[in-house]
Amino acid sequence: MRYRAEVFVTLKQVVNDPEGLTIRGGLHALGFDSVTEVRAGKYLVVTLDEVDTGQARARVEEMARQLLANAVIEDYRIELKPESPSPAAGDSRGQSPSPLVGDGRGGALPA
């Protein structure tokens, strides 16, 4: 099974974030006065093949601990989804899948 893991790495709340502070300053300069805080971080997408969700999550957790985040200064959050396309799901418009089959075979011609 193929999985897509999104890993969000951010500096711990106790760690000063000069990048976030600078971005906040920029937003204030643009007039976004309501902004109280900006935290900058990293966004990583890891695609992997594993037998099931539990195994995939365990592997990505391990990756985050060993390499993707530095526990001294960073926290991480993982969002995991199966990536394999599922033909039955995802079509909420109530249309029949048949137009795909008939495509290019005269289906578009007027009766």
Partner 1 sequence: MKTGIVVFPGTWSDRDCAHAVSEVLGQPARYVDHREDSLDDLELVILPGGFSYGDYLRCGAIARFAPVMEAVASFANRGGLVLGICNGFQILQEARLLPGALLRNASCEFRCEWVNLRVEQSESAFTLDCRPGQLLRIPISHGEGNFFADPQTLEVIERNGQVVFRYCAPDGRVTAEANPNGSLRNIAGIANARGNVVGMMPHPERACEALLGSVDGLEVFRSAIHALRRVAV
Chain residues binding partner 1 by CB under 8 A are 11, 14-16, 18-19, 22, 42, 67-68, 70, 72-73
How near is the Cβ of 106 to partner 1 at its closest, in Å? 53
CB 61, CB 55: distance < 8 Å: no
Closest to partner 1 by CB, 40 or 48? 40
Closest to partner 1 by CB, 25 or 102? 25
Q: Position 18: which residue type?
A: P
How near is the Cβ of 23 to partner 1 at its closest, in Å? 10
Closest to partner 1 by CB, 18 or 90? 18
How near is the Cβ of 70 to partner 1 at its closest, in Å? 6
Q: Are strands 74-82 and 2-11 parallel, antiparallel or unpaired?
A: antiparallel
Q: Which residues contact 84 (CB under 8 A, 6 or more apart)?
A: 1, 2
* Ordered alpha helix ranges (H), the chain: 18-29, 53-63, 98-102
